[in-house]
Amino acid sequence: MSLENVSFGRLSGLTARGVLLALVLATAACGSSGKGGPPPGGPVPVTVVTLHSAPVTLTRELPGRTSAYRIAEIRPQATGIIRERLFTEGALVRVGQPLFQLDDAVYKAQYQSSAAALAKAQAAAEASRLAANRAADLVKTHLISTQDNDNAQAAARQAEAEVAGATAALEASRVNLAYTRITAPIAGRIGRSFVTAGALVTANQEAPIATIQQMDPMYVEVSQASSEWLRLKAEIAAGRLKGAGAGTSVGIVLEGGVRYDHDGKLEFADVTVDTATGSFVIKAIVPNPNGTLLPGMYVRALLNEGTRNAAILAPQPGIARDPRGGATALIVGAGNKVESRAVTLSREIGNQWLVDDGLKEGDRLIVEGVQKARPGADAVPTEASPAAPAAPAAR
């Protein structure tokens, strides 16, 4: 046998074996494909959430500052030298508690002088009264003229008027003397003193000598954009939202994200919009029994804007954005066909979207398998297992 024949025989054997191996692999592949998943274009398995309407309380978190419920700037109502300070800086004071004592020597002298003037006027009035009584008796017997009687009666009335004037002057002196002892007009915490003993103060001066702040309760002042207010009014007018007015609850979040122990109540909304910021002030009153809140603190207020009675909440994984930024959703419709919906969203509430339009109660929203689902395709829907609801946090 020649070399060529030997080589050809070997090649023929290798070729036969290769063909046989290819046939075996093809048969195995066919058997494997018969046991595999659905052929291309078959129903797509998806996970859905059936939407239900329910009442939802809408809240808005807004930045704000605390301020004292009452503020009294202490100014003297009498001129004099401060003789003594009668309070401890930073302490709680009660109504009427003495704060400062002025030198009252001059005011005491004025009071005593007014008291003496009143006594003199009262004595003169008594003499005039007696003279008028005698004149009234004498004129009846024609021992004096009618003119003399009239003069006596007029003198008596004039003496009474002088007594009234002297009484008023004495009261003014008493008030001025009392002003030399400066007292607290409100209860609260008093700050530092701006004057010391020996300082000269004047009546009704511009600069206060101390400040008292009542800090239980406290005010929280926040600003809300007028555009949001108009949107809320439109929703209330359309019947989609039941508005919340004065007296509704207001939650407080302190710096660091800590929720304050006591909720406040909405008390006042300003009627004027700030032209520079386009917002207006909302004021809430908050209990402060432990003194946690101090004037000027930065807080965040959770305002109750109202209740939407039949709200649709859609899980966020079921909402996508198109290239133009619009919100879209895929649902499983009649006959388990995939449908695409354009959706109008209002806001985030926890891990869900509040839907204004595009979805309704009973829709089966696709939350898993969205990448494989296509509008018009058949789907095999599986209801998602219920999860614990997230705490609502309106933004």
Say what the pLDDT of residue 308 is.
79
Residues 246 and 224 in one domain: yes
Q: How far apart are CA 52 and CA 38, in angstroms?
A: 33
Residue 164 lies in a domain: yes
pLDDT of residue 72: 95
Say if residue 232 is in the same domain as residue 174. no
- Quote the pLDDT of residue 395: 45
Task: Give yes or no: residues 50 and 163 share one domain.
Answer: no
CATH of the domain at 83: 2.40.50.100
Judge if 97 and 185 occupy the same domain. Answer: yes
CATH of the domain at 268: 2.40.30.170
Which ranges of the chain have pLDDT less than 50?
A: 1-39, 388-395
For residue 288, tell me if it sits in a domain.
yes
Does a structural domain hold residue 126?
yes
Identify the CATH number of the domain in which residue 165 sits.
1.10.287.470
- Give domain status of residue 10, yes or no: no
Q: Which of 308, 323, 340 is the last residue of a domain?
A: 308
Which residue range(s) make up the domain with 96?
78-102+180-207
pLDDT, tens digit (0-9, with 9 covering 90-100), for 84-124: 999 999 999 999 999 999 999 999 999 999 999 999 999 99
Sequence letter at residue 211: T
Based on the domain organization, do 200 and 139 belong to the same domain? no
Q: Which residue's structure tokens are 């039949």?
A: 310
pLDDT at 58: 78
